[in-house]
Structure 1
Amino acid sequence: MYADPAPDAAPASQPGLPAGPEPGYEPDFRDRTAELAVVRPPGRAARRAAAAAPGDGTPGGGTPGGGTPGGRAARRKALQEEQKGARRRGKPRTGAAVELPPGAGRAARRKAAKPSTKARVITGVATGIGELAMTAGLVMVLFVVYTTWWTNVVGHRNANREADSLQDQWDQSQKDGAPPPAPDPRQPDGFAPGAGFALLYIPKLGVRVPVAQGTDKQKVLDKGLAGHYTDPKTAMPWDNQGNFAVAAHRNTHGEPFRYINKLVAGDKLVVETSTTYYTYVVTNTLPETSPKDIAVIDPVPKKSGFKGPGRYITLTTCTPDGHSTYRLIVWGQLQEERPRKDGKPDALVKDT
């Protein structure tokens, strides 16, 4: 006879069949489909919520094992706070702590963060040298600008003002029919040192420059004027014979003789005075000679090619360009003498 199984006993599993449900399983009779239950990963919102959840000591946020609680933003903020604290304590920005003895206080950390006295001295010296070098460079630049540009501006302005003043004075005398002011007999050649008495034209170069008495650098040449040699004494344009010799700057201070190296035989030079135009023709040049070669302004200049006394003109200036090592010489011989009341000579009419 067979005994009936106990009513509360669970039926035994048969081989090849799945085991029964685990204890506590309650079937959901609403699920009447026959497909497999697919386990899907949590969505972005769920992952973000999990990352923001407080951790329990796990690395990487809210996972077990430790680390900074919170997500990426929280970890970044914590790192920034740590770096700020490190900088306040005299640590490098990277977070590497300055090695201090155990128990070091705030004063020790501040002292360790300060550079040594030697380092401060070296830094101060280097800074001072750098500032001095910058100042010296600026001064040099300003000096170059002053000598190569500003002195020319001032020189041209002075020369034009002096030239206009002379011409206005002569024109007014001619208009009134009055004689020009008489030369001062107490002065050499009738004119005080530095006083303008004539205008020199170089038509080929477009130059008009006042001629003043003497060759003083500050009173005449640096004002943009040409200076008439008085020591040694040279002739005036109206003298019956002699050499009317003048000098002027080739560089800076108006540089009126800047390009007289371009003059060749046959070019014209014109000197205007209160009563007369004197036209000279260039006959010869001397590209280079010593500054001590005074013979170039003799009454009959040596090396000029002139054979005897006559009425000559000599222009002198520095050479080479930008230096005063030597002197450049241009000679000319009087070709025409024309009263000012008769109008300009052909050399100036063709130029204008």
Structure 2
Amino acid sequence: MAAVRPEGGVPEELGDPEDWSVYEAPAEQTLKLRLPAARPAEPAARPDGGRAARGRAGGGPAGLRAPGTGRRRATGRAAGPRPPRPKERRRVVLARLVGELFITLGAVMLLFVSYQLWWTNVLADRDAGAASSKLEQQWAQQPAPPVGGGTAPAPQPTAFQPGQGFAIIHIPKLGLDYPIAEGTDKQKVLDHGLVGHYAGTAMPADQAGNFAVAAHRTTHGQPFRKIGQLVPGDRIVVETATAYYTYEVAGGIPETPPSNVTVLQPVPKGSPFTAPGRYLTMTTCTPEFSARGRLIVFGKMVEERPRSQGQPEALTGQH
């Protein structure tokens, strides 16, 4: 073995800087320089504190973090809200179903109200207009015999089938003209915008009795909507195939129970009449948009005019 020693002139006080034995080599090998082996690095002192403090230290200059140290980098996927639990999802679905149900019910109710207040009037006005035109055509095709001539007896209620038109009622003050049909069946008569004649009560041509009629006040053409505005002295005309019958309003009842059928008697109870005569009774629902009670208007016949003599003064505007 051979060893390389320090060159001459090295002061003794410096001593041996290193362990020169590491440079020893076998004698049979060519001598060459070998660098000293690197000493293991001493571990750095662990900074006080937790992970945050160690991250701030980072092994580099103060205030800087070494690459790959400190907090974890974002993974690229943003942290979203916590997914709802099963119970929360059921509550959300239930709330949506309830909301949609209320919206649907509201739409159905709106359509129903529109149908009742508007569309039924459209249909009823069409039907009433067709019924009036049919009556006028029939009357124009037959001669009108004079009243009391004996050639054609006045038709009785039994001469008409339920729902069959036989007259037209005119209320000049209200500008109303509606056909009158036999019976007061809601589906066959009243809902078609017609005025219905109470079966069993008198006809206009009868020499005594109470000609009683009914009609809707709201919806389905609402023929009697404004009869509450009539006052004593106003005229009402009932036109038939043979004559015009003029009645004068004599009073009424603002509200009475629907079960009060005494107003249909030959001398209507609650009217100003006390003796038999030729009377008119009109009935309709009250208050408006309700069937709680009945509004009654009474009239007394003041003129019977054959069609051959033309319209009465109440219709010509001379009254």
TM over 0.5: yes
Q: Kindly indicate whether residue 171 of structure 2 is the aligned counterpart of residue 210 of structure 1.
A: no
Q: Kindly indicate whether residue 196 of structure 2 is the aligned counterpart of residue 227 of structure 1.
A: yes
Residue 253 of structure 1, CA deviation: 0.6
2:250 — aligned with what? 283
Aligned to 1:147, the other structure's residue is in SS state helix
Output one character per residue of 1:189-232: Cα deviation in whole Å (capped at 9) or x when no partner.
200001111101111001111111011111111111111001xx
- Larger relative helix fraction: 1
| One-letter amino acid matched to 2:101 | L
Output one character per residue of 1:121-141: Cα deviation in whole Å (capped at 9) or x when no partner.
111111111110100010111
Answer yes or no: is the 8 Å Cα contact 1:234–1:297 preserved in 2.
Answer: yes
1:239 — aligned with what? 206
Answer yes or no: is the 8 Å Cα contact 1:197–1:213 preserved in 2.
Answer: yes
2:224 — aligned with what? 257
| One-letter amino acid matched to 1:160 | G
Q: Kindly indicate whether residue 299 of structure 2 is the aligned counterpart of residue 332 of structure 1.
A: yes
**CA–CA distance in 2 between the matches of 1:116 and 1:287?**
64
Change (3 A) 1:222 1:351: farther
Q: Kindly indicate whether residue 310 of structure 2 is the aligned counterpart of residue 343 of structure 1.
A: yes
**CA–CA distance in 1 between the matches of 2:154 and 2:272?**
35
**CA–CA distance in 2 between the matches of 1:246 and 1:345?**
21
| One-letter amino acid matched to 1:138 | A
Q: Kindly indicate whether residue 281 of structure 2 is the aligned counterpart of residue 314 of structure 1.
A: yes
Aligned to 1:287, the other structure's residue is in SS state strand
2:135 — aligned with what? 166
| One-letter amino acid matched to 1:140 | M
| One-letter amino acid matched to 2:220 | H
Bigger Rg, which one: 2
Aligned to 1:309, the other structure's residue is in SS state coil
Q: Could you list the runs of 5+ residues in structure 1 that have no partner in the other structure?
A: 1-64, 67-81, 93-97, 99-112, 176-181
**CA–CA distance in 2 between the matches of 1:300 and 1:247?**
17
For these two proteins, the number of residue pairs brought into alignment is: 242
Answer yes or no: is the 8 Å Cα contact 1:221–1:253 preserved in 2.
Answer: yes
Q: How does 1:1-352 map to 2 (within 5 A)?
A: 85-86=76-77, 91-92=79-80, 114-174=83-143, 188-230=157-199, 233-350=200-317
Residue 331 of structure 1, CA deviation: 0.7
| One-letter amino acid matched to 1:251 | T
Q: Could you list the runs of 5+ residues in structure 2 that have no partner in the other structure?
A: 1-63, 66-73, 145-151
Q: What is the root-mean-square deviation in Å for CA atoms of aligned residues?
A: 2.5
Answer yes or no: is the 8 Å Cα contact 2:237–2:244 preserved in 1.
Answer: yes
Residue 152 of structure 1, CA deviation: 1.1
Answer yes or no: is the 8 Å Cα contact 1:203–1:351 preserved in 2.
Answer: no
Question: Which consecutive aligned stretches of 4+ in structure 1 deviate over 4 angstroms post-superposition?
Answer: 182-185
- TM (normalized to structure 1)? 0.64
Residue 172 of structure 1, CA deviation: 2.4
- TM (normalized to structure 2)? 0.71
Higher relative contact order (CA 8 A, sep 6+): 2
Answer yes or no: is the 8 Å Cα contact 2:157–2:203 preserved in 1.
Answer: no
**CA–CA distance in 2 between the matches of 1:212 and 1:294?**
20
| One-letter amino acid matched to 1:311 | R
Output one character per residue of 1:293-333: Cα deviation in whole Å (capped at 9) or x when no partner.
11111101112111211111100011112211111111111
- Percentage of matched positions with identical amino acids: 54
| One-letter amino acid matched to 1:144 | V
Residue 188 of structure 1, CA deviation: 4.6
Aligned to 1:254, the other structure's residue is in SS state coil
**CA–CA distance in 1 between the matches of 2:252 and 2:77?**
81
Answer yes or no: is the 8 Å Cα contact 1:183–1:189 preserved in 2.
Answer: no
